[in-house]
Amino acid sequence: MSTDGKVERRTLLRLALAVPAAGALASCAKPASKAAPAAQAGSKVDGAKALEFFNFDGGYGKAWTQLPLDLYRQEFPKADVKLTSGQKLQQQLQPRFIQGDPPDLIENVGLDAAALASQKQLMDIGALLDMDAYDQPGLKVKDTLLPGVAEAGRYDGVKYEMPYVFGVAGIWYSQPLMDKHGWTYPKHWDEMLALCAEIKKAGIAPWTYQGKFPGYLTSPMLMTAYKAAGPDLKKKIDNLEPNAWRDPALIAAAEGYQELASKGYLLEGSQALSHTQSQTYWAQSKAVFIPCGGWLENELGAIAPKDLGMTMVPVPGLSSADKAPFETVTGGPGGALIVPAQAKNPQGGIELLRIITSKKCMRNFTELTKSLSVVKGASDGVALSSANKSMQKVIDEAGTNIFLDWSFRLWYKKLLDNSDKAMAALMNREVTPDEWSKRMQKFADETAKDPSIKKFHA
């Protein structure tokens, strides 16, 4: 990983996805009474202790968890090993953090990891990297990981999260549908709007999106603005700089995306659709474009026709005057496995992490979820779908023009939640693009001035 946060071209293996789906949730557990312990490399696991793994049953499902849990059971046959699952982590796990009874390992989609880390609720798992790899003799865990993975998931330099997927996010379409109508995917937004007009005349909705989770659309809109303004925009936004959200590129991007609604280019009712509803309609070719990460194929499952020809492409830029190339995307290591500091069996959680990051388990993950993992060579020989091939192409063509995500989305949960509300208001045409910009700046200023929120800097 380069020092500016970009991932070097050769560090990016093929295909896969980026970060999990669904609406993010906050967590406000009470602070732990003492500092979170650091995992000890080679620490003995009490094989008689029970172990609970909480799985986010979302885009990747839970079938992939069976193999690592079975391997743990084989290693510790006396342990009562339990898998729990859900999608509403705040409601399900916040009470357990408060009561000091969290699971031993959590696939985190929704809990505020930055807040949990600052409250000493998470275990420092950095020592995991120096443990022996589970199924690659002579190698440490860190030796088996793709570049950038060991560095990801750190707050103030401390590693609290272990990514497990490796991929990219963008816009999806059906290649056979595009070919049938002779449509070409555009690189800039004015071309996108022109194509949308043509698609609408053909009787198909140009776009849909996961309206109940408007962050799905915020991501591409921010990327369009990034391409117009260049990398400094991201740094200003992430560092909560004054007037960062008032940048003309952001307002122009907001104007462009709101036009999808004002010109009737959205599938009717998209603003009220869940992720599964909108994705299903898209797979049925009721809309041509949908934003999503690499988990889309797995989440659709059998809903997707075999000849759908799922294809991912980068988000369009704003114009030919853009400062960043069209090929720029967000991607790299994603997902987050965390070990709560107050778990009853944290060493068991660490051991399960070591098993999950084995080559055998990560290959199993790729086969079941059609997504690339963070372990070198784990997908070698696995047959790639059209979706995965297109993601690999996106990553290859991005070169060094790829970054993990907008950091404010990870660091400041309240600001992230407010950005979802502002995006919903924008797409419902309750606010103008300029009012959206002012609203976001207000939220960012409130975050910057709030002494109770720990600040990070890009």
CATH of the domain at 77: 3.40.190.10
Q: What's the pTM?
A: 0.76
pLDDT given at position 227: 98
Residue 38 lies in a domain: no
pLDDT given at position 151: 87
pLDDT given at position 26: 35
- Is the same domain home to 324 and 352? no
Give the bridge partners for 162, in sequence order.
Answer: 337
pLDDT given at position 235: 96
- Distance (Å) of CA 11 to CA 94, 139, 452: 36, 19, 37
Cα–Cα dist 245/440, whole Å: 6
- Is the same domain home to 93 and 240? no
- Is the same domain home to 69 and 193? no
**pLDDT tens by residue, 232-279:** 999 999 999 999 999 999 999 999 999 999 999 999 999 999 999 999
- Is the same domain home to 160 and 175? no
- Alpha-carbon dihedral sign for residues 72, 73, 74, 79: positive
pLDDT given at position 432: 98
- Is the same domain home to 179 and 287? yes
**pLDDT tens by residue, 94-135:** 999 999 999 999 999 888 888 899 889 999 999 999 999 999
Six-digit token string for 117:
């880390």
pLDDT given at position 108: 93
- Is the same domain home to 196 and 343? no
Q: Where in the sequence is the domain holding 290, given as residue range(s)?
A: 168-331+406-449
Residue 321 lies in a domain: yes
Residue 239 lies in a domain: yes
Angle between helices 413-427 and 433-449 in degrees, nearest 10: 170
- Is the same domain home to 180 and 319? yes
pLDDT given at position 38: 65
Residue 454 lies in a domain: no
Residue 155 lies in a domain: yes
Asked if 69 and 83 count as a contact pair (C-beta separation under 8 A), the reply is yes
Beta-carbon neighbour count of residue 133 at 10 Å?
A: 19
- Is the same domain home to 276 and 235? yes
- Is the same domain home to 315 and 345? no
Q: Which residues contact 365 (CB under 8 A, 6 or more apart)?
A: 60, 64, 164, 165, 371, 373, 378
Q: How many domains does the chain have?
A: 2
pLDDT given at position 369: 86
Query: Taking Cα atoms as reference points, which of 125, 127, 149 lies closest to residue 140?
Result: 127
- Distance (Å) of CA 299 to CA 8, 269, 334, 408: 29, 21, 16, 26
Residue 2 lies in a domain: no
Residue 97 lies in a domain: yes
Encode burial over 232-258: b for 16+ CB neighbours within 10 A, e otherwise. Answer: ebbbbbbbbeeebbebebbbbbbbbbb
pLDDT given at position 379: 83
- Is the same domain home to 300 and 413? yes
**pLDDT profile of the chain (458 residues), mean per 10:** 34 32 39 57 82 91 96 96 93 92 94 88 95 96 90 89 90 98 98 98 98 95 98 96 98 98 98 95 98 89 93 98 96 90 95 97 91 87 87 86 87 94 98 98 98 89
Residue 94 lies in a domain: yes
- Is the same domain home to 300 and 430? yes
Phi and psi dihedrals of 312, rounded to 5?
A: -100, 140
- Is the same domain home to 194 and 71? no
Six-digit token string for 77:
């046959």
